[in-house]
Amino acid sequence: MSMKMVILGVLQEKDMHPYEITLIMKERMYDQMMKLQMGSLYYAVDKLAQEEYIEAVETIRSNDRPDKTIYRITSKGKALFEQLILQQIKKTELVFHPLYMALALSRYIDQDKVEKVLEERIREIEHQVNYAYQVYEEHISVVPRSALHLMYGRYEHSLTELKWLKRLYADVAERKLNDFGTPLSL
């Protein structure tokens, strides 16, 4: 996902400082959908300003802190934002889950170890499922519906991964990973 797209999207709501953009991104769990690094956010803000997609509207000066520049999106930035959104929606990239290759080859190692690691992973995902739903519930009256879809989508993806891991765990526990010709119990 494009950092520029997210910055422009958040600036659609109101003029703000890059740090405030970061806070909104974290509040809405955007940081779990993309890598959020302050350095890259500030770099992207600088590039957007240089290219006149955003502009500084105010600089707040302070003796004990660095200057704080407030930005707003320009009409040129709104056009770019629309273009980036439509490009992102059109993308049909394959998702490469980090577990896929390990899963395909895990039948060759000690199944007790695989079972133990899967137990830990399931506990982590259970936490993610609960957390994602809690975040969704807490934000119903706070964020726009578009953000709610993102939050609930995160919950559904976590829930699907949990079901998948539990099914995999059952096969590992029953030492079935080397079986051939048997369909999965879905």
For the chain, give every domain's residue range. Answer: 3-90, 99-173
Angstrom distances, CA of residue 102 to CA of 13, 97, 106, 177: 43, 10, 6, 12
Could you tell me what percent of the chain has a pLDDT over 70? 98
1.10.645.10, 1.10.10.10, 2.60.260.20, 3.40.50.10140: CATH of 3-90 = 1.10.10.10
Per residue in 97-125, pLDDT tens? 888 899 889 999 999 999 999 999 999 99
**Most confidently modeled range among 88-92, 125-129, 180-184:** 125-129
Residues 6+ apart with CB under 8 A from 4: 44, 47, 48, 53, 80, 84
Give the E-state strand segments of 61-170 in sequence order.
68-73
pTM: 0.76
Q: Looking up tokens 């695989």, which residue turns up?
A: 114
Helix, strand, coil proportions of the chain in percent (round to 5)? 65, 10, 30
Per residue in 118-149, pLDDT tens? 999 999 999 999 999 999 999 999 888 988 99
Per-residue pLDDT at 4 exceeds 80? yes
Per-residue pLDDT at 3 exceeds 70? yes
